[in-house]
Chain A
Amino acid sequence: MVEKIALHVHRPSLQQDAQKVQQQLKKVMRTFGRQCRGQQRLLVQWVRQTERQLLEVGQSVGRLAMGAALYLQEDSSLENPPPQRFLAQLRQAAQHYEQIEQQSRRLIHGHPLPHAKIVNPYDRTIAPILKGKSNAPVQFGKKPGILAEMATGFIFALHLPQGNPDDASYVPPLIEGVDGAINALERSRKPQIQSLAGDLAFRYDSVRQPLHARGILTTGIPSTTDPLPQTASPQQVLAVQQSMSFPHIPSAHQVKVATACGYSRPFVESLIEQLACRGGTHLKYKGHRGAVIQVSTAILAHNAATLTRILQNRLTKRAQRCRRWFRLRPPKPLENNKRKND
């Protein structure tokens, strides 16, 4: 990177320095390879020794990067966009260097690595996903969050954050996405979100309270590992009604429907499987932007396929029952009854 900038700003001395450092780094790595060859395993001692040498040689990288940035700012002969692009790339590369160095030093001192450790220096958003997999290797990659309709699995919103934050932090941006779609409707009477279901990761009060304040029921989110009830008893209905504040007291019917639309792992698995068929779980495009584009196109394709099924009335019994609760009419009711009427 520094070499490329030196070439652009016509600074042969900087270019030579950068090449020299690069050669030294290569030399250290070559020695490391030779020492490990034949052993068929990496010895921690060798790794630490090589690491120390690399860090010593690499100390001048920061100085070179600073120099390149200064030359870029000084050089007014270039047009505006290229220096900006170079500066952004240089800043990104320098940040990566600092974090990798910090991580390496921690290894030397024998401290445990934190959760968000760097596994790919070129794409820092790829991190180990440490969630509930005790019987399988740790998963690496990104963790998209989706918000879907309970009846047919139509996906209303996608949230793909950088890194792997807590699942609970996905709820506000996803709800915001659905609100955006509702507000864009050209109707005076707009539909409301009545309930939200989720797994145990969304059980916290910090998730529930803002939803309750908006009148959104959270009976579909379990509080314990016990299975959720399929139907709500009168006592449960009363308890839910009492837990909500005045302007948003739900009717008994709403509570019953929200309970029946509780979290269902098979339903979510089927959604994920449909996205996987469309390449939504195997990212091939590069970087965070690429990941968003790939998952989004998979969702657009999935939604269109779902709408096709709805229009042809090719729905499961469960989906048909849910649609009746949601008061969604089957498409073309007269056509459906044609056979009976003839």
Chain B
Amino acid sequence: MGIIRHLQHWLGGSGPSLIVSDFVPDDHFLRLWADTFPWESMVAAVDRHMATYFPKETQRGRPPVSTRVLLALEILKAELACSDEQICSRLRTDFAVMYACGLERVHADRRQSHFVLPSVLAQFRGRLDETLMAELIQIQSTAAMEEGLVSPSHLVVDTFPSEQGSQRVNDAATLYKAKKKS
């Protein structure tokens, strides 16, 4: 099963080919949401970053999972408040998520459980850094200004606290909460 579990949409599936955009309504919020991104420049920036900091040592092996898919999954994770597993699972079954990830056609094949494994998404995230994320925000802002949708003339600045959200529940926290409730 090994390598087959890593199958990508263009490699896997022997069933009939389905056109993704035919299934997603024109006014679906994820379709509209995904269409606002300047994907081409954003993917180019990520590819440039990867080529600089993580150059390919060999040309052998399978082609990697598309940057467009991984980047979209990472942003969709925030938009849909999903975990890695949930978003990768939705990519297999949800046509709107497929559309947002730029998948144009898929093969109907029940045997294929994943398009992208959660571990692949985690590896991709491990290669992002602060400068790249700042560049992505800048690209999005520039594209929005270019289309005349937003203006930088009058701005507001503020800070907000972001707490460290550990998922682990330890004994001390449980005891503290129990005492507080009683």
Q: Footprint of B on A, CB under 8 Å? A: 120, 123, 126, 129, 131, 139-152, 154-158, 160, 167, 170-171, 174, 177-178, 180-182, 184-187, 191-199, 201-202, 220, 257-258, 261, 263-264, 267-268, 271-272, 275, 277-285, 288-289, 291-301, 303-305, 307-308, 310-312, 322, 325-329, 331
Within 8 A of A (CB), among B72-93: 74-79, 81
B side interface size, CB within 8 A: 49
A255 to chain B, nearest CB (A): 12
Which of A149, A196, A325 neighbours the largest number of chain B CB atoms within 10 Å of its CB? A149
Select which of A126, A157, A275, A331 is within 8 A of B137 by beta carbon. A157
Q: Are B32 and A301 in contact (CB under 8 A)?
A: no
Q: Are B164 and A140 in contact (CB under 8 A)?
A: yes
Known contacts: A177-B137, A185-B145, A304-B33. The answer to whether A148 contacts B159 by CB under 8 A is no
Interface contacts (Cβ under 8 Å), in number, total 233
Q: Are B164 and A308 in contact (CB under 8 A)?
A: no
Chain B residues with Cβ under 8 A from A192's Cβ?
A: 152-153
How long is the Cα–Cα vector from A301 to B163 in the complex, in angstroms?
20
Q: Are A144 and B159 in contact (CB under 8 A)?
A: yes
Q: Are A150 and B155 in contact (CB under 8 A)?
A: yes
Known contacts: A155-B137, A180-B138. The answer to whether A301 contacts B75 by CB under 8 A is yes
A80 to chain B, nearest CB (A): 14
Q: Are B165 and A154 in contact (CB under 8 A)?
A: no
B146 contacts the other chain (CB 8 A): yes
Chain A residues with Cβ under 8 A from B134's Cβ?
A: 157-158, 177, 296
Chain B residues with Cβ under 8 A from A155's Cβ?
A: 137
Measured CB to CB, the nearest residue on chain A to B82 is A279
Measured CB to CB, the nearest residue on chain B to A261 is B154
Chain A residues with Cβ under 8 A from B79's Cβ?
A: 278, 301, 304-305
Q: Are A283 and B158 in contact (CB under 8 A)?
A: no
Which of B14-22, B54-62, B125-133 binds A? B125-133
